[in-house]
Structure 1
């Protein structure tokens, strides 16, 4: 599988990464999915201390022990579970980040985390203190690189300009092109890779298309699309490309066509889903004409809040 460099760092990621949040807590089933990913050439695995109260990190760590030096393990920090575990609070402080990484290292059974990411962020955060925390962990060898996970252009701008982040994880798909207007230019300027999540738009950019539209989407639409305009857009995509590309293929290759994308993070509930995503992104990339047509058929409007 194609490998891409993550920002200006020395890390490289497979074009498709496995988002581990949806693995669940049944270890045997989760391990089968992770093994299918490894067999398919996936080398990037994304987890977080928040997922299943840390159980997700334990499962990922167990499954990747034998291939530790061949993979990129990414985790996240900043969301602090309440004592009752009935919710969490936001804590981007240096003290919390530098302490919490030790718990993640233990659960993952590793000496260092390849990419440690701030799991959110606002302009009200102590940004310099947060950056100092990640820089300290990097100097101490607990992490190789660090990044953020944000869809807020104003927050992204602060970190891109004031820190050495290698990456930013954010939602991006044919149906959510909001990052293109403000976020991507900032990240490109500072050589920061985008790790995209949600490339299949809750399953609507798969072969199941409308079957995956929830009742809330049918009622309220999806982002800037009413349900009627969403149907029109999806029908247009299906009609224009029915002879040449599957919907999965269009969705994943649209992400892949942008050089700022370091990895396309897809979740999976079965080994076959992993293999299907890898097949969809393999083969001939989109032509320039196909890429421009996809942009013409979809909504490219930027973010309406948290703008620069």
Structure 2
């Protein structure tokens, strides 16, 4: 498993990270899934305090005991929830973020978090207050680096201008090329890494693409009408047959092709799914002809919304 530097940090993370959101509630399965990821060369685990209202962090904490030094652990905060109560609300205040980090540390069983990310945000938030919270947490040794999980260009640019964030997690794939027009080169120039989610397009960019299209894409996707999206999936499968590379490997190749990208955060709910993701990664290649073919057959989407 190749590794790439995370921003300007001393962290080097695997090109495929484990998205832990779908680990489920079973402790044994979660441990087996994480163990398989580590065994496969994945060193980056990504979670959030909101996932299962903190239970996900607890499962990870138990699974990584004795392995901490070999891993890069990332979590997120800003969505406030109360124990025993349903629902949550957005609270990016300094007071809450500093409380949320400490709660995450307790659940994870860690002394510090490698990468702490703001889990969303709008331009109306007090960005200066968020930055102050992050920088104080860094000085206190509770977090090593900080970043954002956001697709809002104005929010991202505000943080990049005002502080030294290390990363931005955002959607990016063959059918969601919005970051290319406005964000990827900008972040690369500012030495901020992109952590990609959604690289497999809700499963539509895999060998199960048509079934997933029937389930999740027959109402369209971004600026693709349903029939346009179906044609893209069919073309991807034709290209896969021609190149003898699975569709998901082509999708992984495309998302990893840009130098701004440090890692693809691929979710898994079982050891078998981890193995499937790793197999697809191992079959991926940065064949420029294939990348150009994908570029020509898909749209250059833009961020028409997500400005506030």
Structure 1 and Structure 2 fold alike (TM over 0.5): yes
> Which region of structure 1 is more displaced relative to structure 2, 278-287 or 192-201?
278-287
Dislocated runs of 4+, deviation >3 Å: none
Unpaired stretches in structure 2, ≥5 consecutive residues: none
The answer to whether structure 1 residue 207 and structure 2 residue 207 are counterparts is yes
- Does the 8 A contact of 2:195 with 2:265 survive in 1? yes
Distance in 2 between the 1:156 and 1:282 partners?
32
TM superposition shift of 1:273: 1.3
Aligned to 1:143: 143
Aligned to 1:273: 273
TM superposition shift of 1:286: 2.0
Distance in 1 between the 2:121 and 2:227 partners?
34
TM superposition shift of 1:294: 0.9
TM superposition shift of 1:120: 0.3
SS state at 2:33 partner: helix
Aligned to 1:177: 177
TM superposition shift of 1:236: 1.2
Distance in 1 between the 2:102 and 2:261 partners?
29
Q: Where does 1:1-308 land on structure 2 (aligned, <5 Å)?
A: 1-82=1-82, 85-215=85-215, 217-218=217-218, 220-244=219-243, 245-283=245-283, 285-307=285-307
Distance in 1 between the 2:31 and 2:216 partners?
33
- Does the 8 A contact of 2:249 with 2:283 survive in 1? no
SS state at 1:232 partner: helix
- Does the 8 A contact of 1:15 with 1:263 survive in 2? yes
TM superposition shift of 1:14: 0.4
- Does the 8 A contact of 2:6 with 2:262 survive in 1? yes
Distance in 2 between the 1:52 and 1:216 partners?
23
- Does the 8 A contact of 2:253 with 2:284 survive in 1? no
- Does the 8 A contact of 1:80 with 1:91 survive in 2? yes
- Does the 8 A contact of 2:3 with 2:13 survive in 1? yes
> Which region of structure 1 is more displaced relative to structure 2, 298-307 or 59-68?
298-307
TM superposition shift of 1:280: 1.3
TM superposition shift of 1:284: 5.8
TM superposition shift of 1:207: 0.9
TM-score for both structures, normalised by structure 2? 0.96
- Does the 8 A contact of 1:161 with 1:190 survive in 2? no
TM-score for both structures, normalised by structure 1? 0.96
Unpaired stretches in structure 1, ≥5 consecutive residues: none
Q: Tell me the number of residue pairs that the alignment of Structure 1 and Structure 2 aligns.
A: 307
> Which region of structure 1 is more displaced relative to structure 2, 269-278 or 104-113?
269-278
